[in-house]
Amino acid sequence: MEQAVTIKDIFAMFDRSEQERRETERLLKESWRETDRELKEMQKEMRDSAKQLNKQMGDLGLRFGDLAEEMVKAGILDKVNALGYRFVDFDENHVLRDTATGQRIAEIDLVLYDGDAVMAVEVKTKLETEDVKDHIIRLDKMRANAQNKVWEHRKLLSAVAGAVISKEVKAFALNHGFFLICQSGENLKVEPPSGAAREW
């Protein structure tokens, strides 16, 4: 014969049910805290990894940039002079300063010198149209700040160089009066502008 359920039994069931609910809630909160802690640790590890990767990529980019400059320096005088110039020397990483304030306003990767001309060369690993446009601005600054500089009374010419140059960028540079310096097999190649070389 079944025992009758009393009010006391019903309250005991509710009490057990409430205890089980509280225990479940406590376990869930612990689980959430642990999950939250693990997520924060994972996010920190991902941020640290991303920083390290960015640094490594930046270092690699600098090494590629140095390599591109070394490639250009190796034969630039001979190659440009084969086009009828008489450049005898060049400076690397020439810092351009404002003639009035002395403040640094630009840096030119290579500056070639001859008796009556100076050629400013911008070197990039991958040459883009924006790099050519930026070099135009740099050349305007060179001309505007020519007082007492070696190019004050000389023609100021320009070249852009790159290890990787698309056809569109190549055409843009040549059509804007720039000499184009690029790799051709194992050799350095200098192409004259499409029309007359632009002078600043």
pLDDT one-digit tens code per residue, 99-119:
889 899 999 999 999 878 999
pLDDT interval class at 54 (50, 70, 90): low
Report which of 96, 120, 114 is spatially closest to residue 197, judged by C-alpha positions: 120
**Averaged pLDDT for residues 143-158:** 90
Query: Sign of the C-alpha dihedral, residues 55, 126, 114, 198?
Result: negative
Please tell me which residue, 25 or 157, carries the higher pLDDT value: 157
Query: What pLDDT, in 10s, does the model give residues 27-41?
Result: 888 888 888 888 888
Contact 129, 162 (CB under 8 A): no
pLDDT interval class at 6 (50, 70, 90): confident
**Averaged pLDDT for residues 8-14:** 79
Provide, rounded to the nearest whole percent, the portion of the chain with pLDDT above 70: 88
How big is the CA angle at 186 (ends 185 and 191), to the nearest 5 degrees? 65
Instruction: Give the C-alpha separation, 17 to 10, whole Å.
Output: 10
Q: Phi then psi for 74, rounded to 5 degrees?
A: -55, -35
pLDDT for residue 188: 84
Per-residue pLDDT for 175 more than 60?
Answer: yes
Instruction: Give the C-alpha separation, 90 to 109, whole Å.
Output: 10
